[in-house]
Chain A
C-alpha cells in the first residue's frame, strides 16, 4: 500500500498479526484458558464430572478438558465425591504436589460440608475445606454438569483477577450475577433511623 505522506508511516503496516496487551492480561488469559484439572473422582460426583468432560457438556470449550493423571501437571483440583478421613491425607498430599498457582473446586454436598454424612457419618470429613483451601464451592447432590461448568467459570474469574505486579493485591472476583433479582434501590433504604442518629 503506497504511503500518502499524511498518516504515520507505521499505520496499517502491523495491525494484522499484532495484538497489544499487558503482560498480566496475557498471562491470565493463557492460564484461565488452559486449566488442567486433576483426575480426582472419589464417588458419585465423579460421574457428573465425567459427563462434563464428554461431548454433551464439553469442558474442553473452556480449555479445561485435559484431565491429568498426575498432580504435577495439574492446576485445578476438582474434589468430586465423599472425602473420607482415610482419603483426607491423600487429598492433602496431592494438593501439596500440585504446582502453583493451583485452584480447588469443592464439588457436591459431601465435599462442601459433609452432606448426608454430616451427623452420623463417622468416616466422612465435614467439608474438604478442613483439609485444603477451597476456591469455589459447587453444591448439589450431585451437582448438574452445568453447575460444575459454572464453578469452573468462577475459577476463571479468579484467575483473571490475579495481579503479577509486586505488592499488588488480587482483586476479588465479582460474580457477574448473584442469583437474586436486583431491585432498584430507593433512597429511603439508606436513610438513618432516629435511634441510630442518637447513638452516633
Chain B
C-alpha cells in the first residue's frame, strides 16, 4: 500500500484527528493528535489492509533553540515530537507516525508532556518509551513500568533536552 493510500485510509477512519502529513518525502509521515494515538495505532496494527506488525523505533525530538539570538531565525516553533517508525512484514509497506507535543505540559516548566503508551500493542515499545522518557522527558501514560533505563535512577533532568543544564557534581564526583 502506498503512503497516500495509508493516509487516505486513516483520514476516512479518524477524520480530523489526523492533524498533518508529508507523503512525498523519503520517510512519509502522518501526524496524529496525541489523545487519538492509541486508537490509531491499534487500527494500524490490527486492520487487515495495514497490518503494521513491526515497530522499528520510538524516537523523541526536541525542537528548541536555547540561544535567544538564533531562536529568532529558527524555522520552527518550540515543540517536541514523538516518532513511530512502522512497517508491515506481511504487505511490505511502511509509514512514520508523528505526534506533536508541547515542550511542557500546560506550558508549565517541569511538567512533562504526556502521550499514550503503545507498549500494549507492540512490546518493543516498552524499552523504547523508557528511553525516550529518560532522555527527552516525555511521559507515556499507561506504560507498565516507566522508569529510567540509561541514566541512574536518581539522575535529575532529561539530558537530551536542548535546555538541559549539566550538573555541577554527581554523588561527590565533580562533573565540570
Contact = CB atoms under 8 A, between A and B. Distances in A.
Interface of A: 85-86, 88-89, 122-123, 125-126, 130-131
Contact of A86 (B152, B159, B174, B175): B152
B173 A88 contact: yes
B176 interface: yes
B151 A86 contact: yes
Nearest to B174: A130
Given A85-B152, A86-B151, A86-B152, A122 B166 contact: yes
Given A86-B150, A123-B150, A125-B173, 11 more contacts: A85-B155, A85-B170, A85-B171, A88-B171, A123-B159, A126-B174, A126-B175, A126-B176, A130-B173, A130-B174, A131-B173
B164 interface: yes
A85 B159 contact: no
Contacts of B174: 126, 130
A123 B160 CA distance: 11
A125 B173 CA distance: 8
List the 4 closest A-B pairs by CB distance, nearest first. A122-B159, A86-B152, A85-B170, A130-B173
Nearest to B159: A122
Contacts of B171: 85, 88-89
Contacts of A88: 170-171, 173
A83 to B, nearest CB: 10
Contacts of A122: 159, 164, 166
Contacts of B152: 85-86
A85 B166 contact: no
Interface in B155-172: 155, 159, 164, 166, 170-171
B147 to A, nearest CB: 13
Choose among A85, A88, A89, A125 the residue with the greatest number of B CB atoms under 10 Å from its CB.
Answer: A85
Choose among A122, A130, A131 the residue with the greatest number of B CB atoms under 10 Å from its CB.
Answer: A122
Interface string B94-119: 00000000000000000000000000
Interface string B134-157: 000000000000000011100100
A131 B176 CA distance: 14
A184 B175 CA distance: 44
